[in-house]
Structure 1
Amino acid sequence: MEEFIQLLKRLSEARGPSGFEDEVREVVVREMEPYVDEVVVDRWGNVIGIKRGASERRAMVAAHIDEIGLMVDHIDKEGFLRFRPVGGWNEVTLVGQRVWVKTSRGTWIRGVVGSTPPHVTPAGKEREAPEIKDLFIDIGASSREEVEKLGVEVGSVAVLDREFAVLNGRVVTGKAFDDRVGVAVLLYALRQLKELPTTLYAVATVQEEVGLRGAQIAAERINPHYAIALDTTIAADVPGVGDRLHVTKIGKGPAIKVLDGGRGGLFIAHPQLRDHIVKIARDIGVPYQLEVLYGGTTDAMAIAFRREGIPAATISIPTRYIHSPVEVLNVEDAVNASKLLKAVLERTTPAVIDSFLDKRIK
């Protein structure tokens, strides 16, 4: 358990907003290399670890390394940075936060997200949530020229400045658990794997938070016979939310997705692959939850509809307060997700894969 916690800490504290995943990619490559036969970084920055198995059938497991971030789109003459979101933010979670801003030199400097003080806010609007357009980053500069000397410019990105912490026993909090915990689950499973019936492509994907971009590229390249995405899911098991809307609960095991999606359309996990994962969870005694999520999706959607169609499903880690500085999860859920992933990869033989693929009707 402690080994997993330290792995998650390293991944969570690395800085990697969508499109700028370099720092976390270095961590992933270092952690992955000893446990695979080959590591490839593709043109867009996906990390693909290849572990050869007993057959040439291809299994793909994807977990994204990017986190939601901010991008500077204007620098005031007084030295304040205006920004736009990169990924899905709730403005309320941003006010008063510390951030890291990446400079053109590749270094990171600290700043804070400021807003109009309530004392000078028009009457009646003191308690209204600000819009992102009204927020700004203060890096302690007094002019645009000083900002530029520090190497900050239009197009510079920022992420939250937040340390990983243990709350109580196996419950932890930090930034970017979405989806560094999925990456940790994948890396932890790789450490335990021995013989495989298929060749595994373990993919740490980029730009998931801005449209599942990296998974699309990787799936086209690999053309797997089946795929599993690893990601967080909503655990709304908190005061004021009815039981039906909890989706999942922390500490009750990983979730096996049935359906998710939103305005872009719903994704239904491949039924036979999903049932196969459920059966394996029961066989090995891993607790699990079935997940129906309205709103949000995972790399599985991007993978499933490539080429002729790829059987795809998702194993999720229940997480509270997703897309905030204080995401919370139970490490036992993540470790159990890793155990389940390992068992699925070991038990999905070519014969099982054949049952997912094209059927000839006589």
Structure 2
Amino acid sequence: MDKIKLIEELTTAFGPSGFEEDLVEIIKNNLKDFDLESDSMNNVYAKYKNSGDKKFTVQLDAHTDEVGFMVQSILDNGSLAIVPLGGWVLTNVPAHLVGIRNKDGQIIEGITGSTPPHFMSQEERNRPLDIEKMFIDIGASSYEEVIEDFKIEPGAPVAPLVDFRYDKDHDLIRGKAFDNRLGCSCIIETMKRLKDADLNVNLVGAFAAQEEVGMRGAKITSQKAKPDLAIVFEGSPADDLYFSKNQAQGALGRGVQIRHFDKSYIGNPKYLKLAKDLADENEIKYQSAIRRAGSTNAGAIHLSNEGVPVLVLGIPSRYVHSHYNFARLSDFEATVDLAVKVLQNLNDENIRKILKK
């Protein structure tokens, strides 16, 4: 499948935390030539068929879930009260199109409610938003209509509904859930490009569920894969609209983001040096990031087993954890290029140096 079509299919898929079933099927359909497993948590594992038993294992990670909501209750007037799945800035929630999966598996369109100014006092306009006062309107007028006609019940998952666009002339992709469906696309592209390569490591693609609610899936995948090293792919928050050119560390068009630090992990210096040296040698554009906030599945993976050095590679994406995202296709390609070079150049000697064995 063409990488643009792959990115479109993954990013437009419905899959808030805990409801990643559609992603499981899409991933399996795109990796039919691989040995595939999935578990009860919706994690997916991909390996090469008939791969040799090498001394060291590298886990490729990306999380499949997106930020969304769950229906908490149905009000008498037919609107839906919600709780968040993942981290939302509440001002980004109102007046957007969302999809609610009903008990028959159908996606019902709704709009996150926004009170018109005509019905608000000045005090109400200035009051901070409260998720407990937010609701979704599906056009119903009663509790009974929601239950009987729309077949939506408490516990139904909710996700943004956004179309996908690719602007070839400007190297731009626009859609939803780039955090972290772009990372999922990176695993698929990387494993396909290395399918016929003679690697010195066992390679496991691990697509993890429920990252947005506490890195839950990665705690399981790292136990199963038992990696010696890992590469985490992430749709990282772009910061080029908020900082100067020299201060920004997640700018669109400046290549793959190599993360040194965030709230959940500190990068291994030798692993980071290997990646940067290979990027320089192969003229792959990259930018280093030291994040004051945020985290990735590296936080869970690097604490698994006896400790796992992790390389976090990010595709800068504007407005993550909202409905609409922008990214550059060239940054996505640079991320895959660097991952491929790192995996091709891992051998027993440099792995032992990274592991200090």
C-alpha deviation, 1:330, in angstroms: 0.3
Question: Does the alignment pair 1:39 with 2:36?
Answer: yes
Question: Does the alignment pair 1:50 with 2:68?
Answer: no
In the alignment, structure 2 segments of 5+ residues that lack a partner are: none
Aligned 8 A contact 1:53 1:197 in 2: no
What letter corresponds to residue 186 of structure 1 in structure 2?
I
Question: Does the alignment pair 1:200 with 2:198?
Answer: no
C-alpha deviation, 1:96, in angstroms: 0.7
Q: How does 1:46-195 map to 2 (within 5 A)?
A: 46-51=43-48, 52-53=51-52, 55-126=54-125, 130-149=129-148, 150-167=150-167, 169-193=170-194, 194-195=196-197
C-alpha deviation, 1:32, in angstroms: 1.6
2:257 is aligned, of 255, 258, 270, to 255
1:290 is aligned, of 277, 288, 291, to 288
Question: Aligned equivalents of 1:163 and 1:317: distance in 2?
Answer: 20
Question: Aligned equivalents of 2:143 and 2:269: distance in 1?
Answer: 56
Question: Aligned equivalents of 1:214 and 1:172: distance in 2?
Answer: 27
The CA deviation string for residues 123-165 of structure 1, in whole angstroms up to 9 with x for no partner, is 2432555322221101111111111112211111100010011
Question: Aligned equivalents of 1:345 and 1:15: distance in 2?
Answer: 31
Question: Aligned equivalents of 1:311 and 1:166: distance in 2?
Answer: 35
1:313 is aligned, of 275, 295, 311, to 311
TM-score by length of 1: 0.93
Aligned residues: 351
The answer for the alignment partner of 1:273 in structure 2 is 271
1:342 is aligned, of 340, 343, 348, to 340
C-alpha deviation, 1:296, in angstroms: 0.9
1:325 is aligned, of 309, 323, 330, to 323
Question: Aligned equivalents of 1:312 and 1:268: distance in 2?
Answer: 9
Aligned to 1:234, the other structure's residue is in SS state coil
Aligned to 2:73, the other structure's residue is in SS state strand
Aligned 8 A contact 1:33 1:49 in 2: no
C-alpha deviation, 1:298, in angstroms: 0.7
Aligned 8 A contact 2:265 2:302 in 1: no
In the alignment, structure 1 segments of 5+ residues that lack a partner are: none
Aligned 8 A contact 1:115 1:134 in 2: no
Question: Aligned equivalents of 1:251 and 1:115: distance in 2?
Answer: 35
What letter corresponds to residue 17 of structure 1 in structure 2?
P
User: How many percent of aligned residue pairs carry the same amino acid?
Assistant: 31
> Closer, same or farther in 2 for the Cα pair 1:320/1:245, shift >3 Å?
farther
Aligned to 1:125, the other structure's residue is in SS state helix
